[in-house]
Amino acid sequence: MALTREQMAQRVASELRDGYYVNLGIGIPTLVANYIPPGIEVMLHSENGLLGMGAFPTEEEIDPDMINAGKQTVTARVGASIFSSVESFAMIRGGHIDLTVLGAFEVDVHGNIASWMIPGKLVKGMGGAMDLVAGASNIIVTMTHEKGGQSKLLERCTLPLTGSGCIRRVLTDLAYLEIHDRAFVLRERAPGVTVEEIKAKTAGRLVVPSDVPEMRLSNDANHGSPAHA
């Protein structure tokens, strides 16, 4: 069975370590905050100048001057700091963020990622994504394995790139893969998903080790807000 969005978030959350400063992109990455393993603490970074993003506000707490990079109203947790966009991207570009989780349209065996533009069709702009992929030492891409029957794990990205040679880890709804030596290395299968299915749905070169375990998804959601930390 392909992973649900929540399960994908859950799997990514198991990569978190106590004391990580983490930037979570819009979409599935945002859900990761709901699955922070017990006993560890992370600080969420938001590009617009907030380190230590807290839960969504209550109706009473809502403040238009307190938003995250997705323009959602949020709160600041204890230990938060607030600063300018310049400082925020100094943190990102300077490699101070421990883990960045973001979505993508395509990823390829060279570690390239395309996530911001579909020519002639969708122009959202890159926002902070190009800075994040160029600056973070540690990036996990989360996306569905296919879209409309087309694999999103390619030999070469076809869409305009967000970053070049910067991606090493990809979690899809079918598998967890690492990129090494110009190939996707299959590390884990989603529960019930076969190696054959993953092979069939991966367009880029795929390396299948002799043992490819099923993912373990042990954490329960901590039923906090998406911005819980």
Partner 1 sequence: MAGFDKRVDSARQALDGLTDGMTIIVGGFGLCGIPENLIAEVHRRGVRDLTVVSNNCGVDGFGLGLLLEKRQISKMIASYVGENAEFERQLLSGEIEVELTPQGTLAERIRAGGAGIPAFYTATGVGTPVGENKEVRKFDDRDYILEKAITADFALIKGWKADWYGNIVYRHTAQNFNPAAATAARITVAEVEEIVEPGALEPSHIHTPGIYVDRLTQGQFEKRIEKRTTRSA
Q: How far is the CB of 85 from partner 1 (least distance, A)?
A: 4
Q: Choosing from 6, 15, 41, 47, which is the catalytic residue?
A: 47
Q: Which is nearer to partner 1, 63 or 214 (CB)?
A: 63
Q: Closest distance between partner 1 and the C-beta of residue 108, in Å?
A: 12
Q: Cβ neighbours of residue 142 under 8 Å, at least 6 residues apart?
A: 8, 9, 12, 27, 28, 29, 101, 102, 103, 170, 171, 172
214 is catalytic: no
Instruction: Please say which residue, 70 or 144, places its beta carbon nearer to partner 1.
Output: 70
Instruction: Tell me the closest approach of the beta carbon of residue 93 to partner 1, in angstroms.
Output: 3
Nearer to partner 1, 88 or 202 (CB): 88
Virtual CA dihedral for 48, 53, 54, 60, nearest 10 degrees?
A: -20
> Contact at 8 Å (CB) between 1 and 192?
yes
Ramachandran sector of residue 143 (left: φ over 0; alpha: ψ -120 to 50; beta: rest): beta
Active site amino acids: 47
